Amino acid sequence: MKRVIVVGAQVPFVKGGAELLCESLAHAINGLDGIEAELVQLPFKWYPEEQMLNDIMAWRLIDLSESNGTKVDLVIATKFPTYALQHSHKALWLIHQHRTLYDLENTEYDSWRFEDNAKVVRDKIRSLDDKFFAECRCHYTISRTVSSRLKNYNGFDSEPLFPPPNLADRIQPGTYGERVIYIGRLEPNKRPDLLISSASRVPEAKISIIGKGRKQDIDRLKSLIEKTGISGRCELLGFLPDDELLRRLSTARAVFYAPYDEDYGYATIEAFLAMKPVITCIDSGEVRSFVEETGSGFVSDADPDTMADNLRKVYDMTDAELVEMASRGHELSKGITWDKVLKKLVLDNL
C-alpha cells in the first residue's frame, strides 16, 4: 500500500475552491487501487506581514517522511505556503502563490501596498518560493493562467492539469430561466458588485448572488443593491446546500463569473456542465480563456455599461441560441476528469 499526503493551507472559517480542491484530490486518490491518501492542513494567516514568515517556518519544520512508522511515499503541495514542506518526493500541483506578492502587487487588491516593510517581506518570500519550487520533483498547476505566472515570476515551466468541480457528476442541463446567477465568495476581487451594477442598466435582468462573505462584503453589496434600486429583482442567497445550488444552476439563464485574474474558476466549468453561457471580463484570467476558447459566453471590459450590453444579449437570445452557444463549453467541461490528473500527479510519481 502506497501512502500519499495532500497538504493544504486553511484560513479558519473560510472555504472556497482551493479547499474543495484539496479535499476532492485526497478523495480521488483514495479511489485508486493500492494507494491511501490523507489531507493534512495547517491554519494560515497572512497578516501582519511577518506572520507569513512564521507560516512558512511552520510548514518547513513538519516531518511527513513517515507516519506511525510507515513511509509516506509522496507529498503533494498545493498553494502557499504548503510547498515549504521538506520531503524527498514532493510534487507541486500549484493552485496559486500568495497572489499579493505577485500578480496582485500594486493593484487595488494589494492589501500590502501601504505597509512600510512590505517590500522586505515580499522579496524574502519570493526568494524562498524559488527555493521551494526547485525542491519539487515535478511542477503542475491547475490552469494555464497559474502556469504563466509561475513561469513569468519564478522561471519554472509547468503543465496545467484541470480539476473537475466537486459536484461535476451531479450537474445536469435544464431549462433557461429568467435569472443570471453568480456563484462564489463575495470578496471585492470576485466582483459580484459588477453584476449588480450591470443589472441595474438592464430592466429585464433578474439576478441571484450565491455565496458566503464577510459582513463588510455583504453590507457593501446590500448598499449597492439599494442604491441601484434593483432590490425587487436581485437576491443575495448566501451559502446554499448542494441540492438547491444544483437546482439554481440547472434553471439559470446564464452564469456571471468575472473575478480579477482568476486562477481557474470552478463556476465556469459548472456553468458549462449545465449548458449555460458565461459572462466574464477581459481581465478574468482563466475564465476568459475558457470562454474565448469555446465561444460559450461573452467577454467584455470590466465596466458596467459594456457588461450590461452582454447581459442584455443573454435575455434577447432564444433557448436554441443559448444551447448552441453553450455546446462547445459543455463538450470541453465533460472532458475534465480526475483521470489525467491522477495519472500524471500521482501514478507517474510513485
| Over residues 304-331, mean pLDDT | 97
pLDDT digits (tens, 9 = 90+) for 237-288: 999 999 999 999 999 999 999 999 999 999 999 999 999 999 999 999 999 9
| Over residues 74-87, mean pLDDT | 97
Cα 17 versus chain centre, distance:
5
Q: Which three cell numbers, joined as nine digits, stand for 168?
A: 461535476
| Over residues 17-25, mean pLDDT | 93
**Residues 195 and 182 sit within 8 Å (Cβ to Cβ):** yes
**Residues 287 and 258 sit within 8 Å (Cβ to Cβ):** yes
Q: Which three cell numbers, joined as nine digits, stand for 182?
A: 453568480
pLDDT digits (tens, 9 = 90+) for 99-139: 988 998 888 888 776 666 778 888 899 999 999 999 999 99
Residue 22 has pLDDT above 90, yes or no: yes
From the candidate CATH numbers 3.40.50.2000, 3.40.50.150, 3.30.30.60, 1.10.3720.10, the one assigned to the domain spanning 2-161: 3.40.50.2000
pLDDT digits (tens, 9 = 90+) for 143-201: 999 999 999 999 999 999 999 999 999 999 999 999 999 999 999 999 999 999 999 99
**Residues 135 and 86 sit within 8 Å (Cβ to Cβ):** yes
The whole-number pLDDT of residue 13 equals 87
From the candidate CATH numbers 3.40.605.10, 3.40.640.10, 3.30.2130.30, 3.40.50.2000, the one assigned to the domain spanning 168-334: 3.40.50.2000
Q: What are phi and psi of 202, to 5 degrees?
A: -125, 95
**Residues 6 or more apart in contact with residue 80 via CB below 8 angstroms:** 9, 96, 97, 98, 129
Q: In the chain, where are the structural domains located? A: 2-161, 168-334
- Which residue intervals of the chain are DSSP H helices? 17-29, 49-61, 118-135, 144-149, 192-199, 215-228, 242-250, 266-273, 286-294, 304-316, 319-334, 338-345
Q: Is there a common fold for 2-161 and 168-334?
A: yes
17 or 334: which leads in pLDDT: 334
